[in-house]
Amino acid sequence: MKSGRQTTLRSDATVSGIGVHSGVPATLTLHPAEPGTGIRFVRPGTDGKPDREVKADVRSVVATEFATVIGDASGPLCSTAEHVLAALSGLGIDNAVVEIDGPEMPIMDGSAEDFVAAIDRVGLQATAAPRRYIKVLKPVRVANGRSYGELRPYDRGMRFEVEIAFDHALIGRQTMAFDLDPLHFRREIARARTFGFMSDVAKLWSAGYALGASFENTLVVADNRILNPDGLRWTDEFVRHKALDAIGDLALAGAPLLGVYRSVCGGHKLNHAVLSALMADRSAWTVVDATALARTTVRGRAELTTGVAAPAYGPDVS
């Protein structure tokens, strides 16, 4: 938002569907929230009050195998949170309550498009409270074999540099780099769908994953072709979806990041490891209170023109 103020939704936004891994139906409702709330996940109870509530925070991640799972000491609250988190982050929403009545977020078409559409139908509301950012002060890097991820300082906003490399003729090496803003997110990222390989189906099913996967919600890659009748939305849809996942996973910082995230051959586990490493090193970040934020276009980038340092209290800063 041009004012640099915290935002929320104008009213409730609801979508329903099945979980891609569980196959279980679920209804997701995004509720407006007061400034300073951040993003919170709730499971409805039988008496109209939340049965459980978990803050969207890197410390609330309980699993990263094939999806990002949010929970607490009592166990998982919801799986596959990354796409709705990406929609909220990509559209610049600071405060919302994410109510989910099932064990997994609905996968919809495998992208964040339906979440964006639901949010756009109700619109956003700016508040009087200034937005706070987590500013990266020095590089933080995590590597595992050929995969690595790093966060570096960057004053112009949040930038993503994503690279993937698959030993498959239809994918190969793909890269993309962009500064995150709502317009670019809507046009270039939100519609990128999750993907999987036909050769992995039996293994996934036997492990209890992909039980709700279909051509309606997953790009299915065979040996020499895409099996979905409608084909690809972009020739590089694969790396765009990896970028979508990274946006959602890094939304668990607790506030918007100011920095560059570079990911090479990464996924949910790497995204979580890098963000965890950043937050664990208190000298690697600070909090910036954007008392005045003006967005100017410099080769498609968003600039933070005014900001003052604010007290920091760890990741819980939204």
Which helix or strand (DSSP H or E) is residue 248 part of? Answer: helix 237-250
Task: Give the whole-angstrom CA distance, residue 213 versus residue 264.
Answer: 26
CB atoms within 10 A of CB 10: 13
* Residue written as token pair 């495998």: 110
Q: What residue has token string 């609330």?
A: 60
Q: Which of 18, 100, 124 is nearest to 51 (CA)?
A: 100
Which one of 21, 31, 268, 272 is the catalytic residue?
268
241 is in an annotated binding site: yes
- Residues in Cβ contact with 290 at an 8 Å cutoff, skipping those fewer than 6 apart: 4, 130, 131, 132, 133, 304, 306, 307
Q: Is 31 annotated as a binding residue?
A: no
The verdict on whether residue 272 carries a ligand-binding annotation is no
268 assigned to active site: yes
| 121/10 Cα distance (integer angstroms) | 10
Instruction: Report, as residue numbers or ranges, the catalytic residues.
Output: 268
User: What residue numbers does the annotated binding site for Zn(2+) cover?
Assistant: 83, 241, 245
Binding residues: 83, 241, 245
